[in-house]
Amino acid sequence: MIKSIYTKDHKAVVKQLIQARIEAGLRQEDVAKKLGVTQSHISDIESGQRRIDLILLGALSKIYKSPFLFLVSSKIKLLNLKETEEIIKRQAPESRQSFISGLRILFKNLN
């Protein structure tokens, strides 16, 4: 598992997030208020200093009124059921439920 958040994939998602926020006409402060976090938290996300999970991506998708796939479209790979099951099996037991919840949000936002 890659531990560094400084990957090309992460940078691409961050770039999409910034673009979506700007297109939504929102400031970092506006997004922070909607999420119940500080502006510096949003700044850390947008500067690549903080990891982004599926739950947060789902919330940002709703705030930005932007399709979830747009936020990750530069690196998304659609998986079939078998591939998805294999990924879930590889997750640590304590991470599995969070991963499954994130997938539910992902699929909900696809509709």
- Domain containing residue 105: CATH number: 1.10.260.40
For residue range 12-34, what is the model confidence (pLDDT) as tens digits? 888 888 988 999 999 999 999 99
Domain count, the chain: 1
For the residues 73-78, what does the mean pLDDT come to?
A: 50
Report if residue 3 sits inside a domain.
no
Asked if 36 and 82 touch (Cβ cutoff 8 Å), the reply is no
pLDDT for 31: 96
Domain that residue 58 falls in: 8-110
Q: How far apart are the first and last CA of the chain?
A: 30
Of the two residues 72 and 39, the one the predictor is more confident about is 39
Report if residue 1 sits inside a domain.
no
Q: Which two tokens stand for residue 41?
A: 């938290």
Q: Which two tokens stand for residue 99?
A: 């991963």
Report if residue 48 sits inside a domain.
yes
Q: Indicate yes or no: pTM above 0.85.
A: no
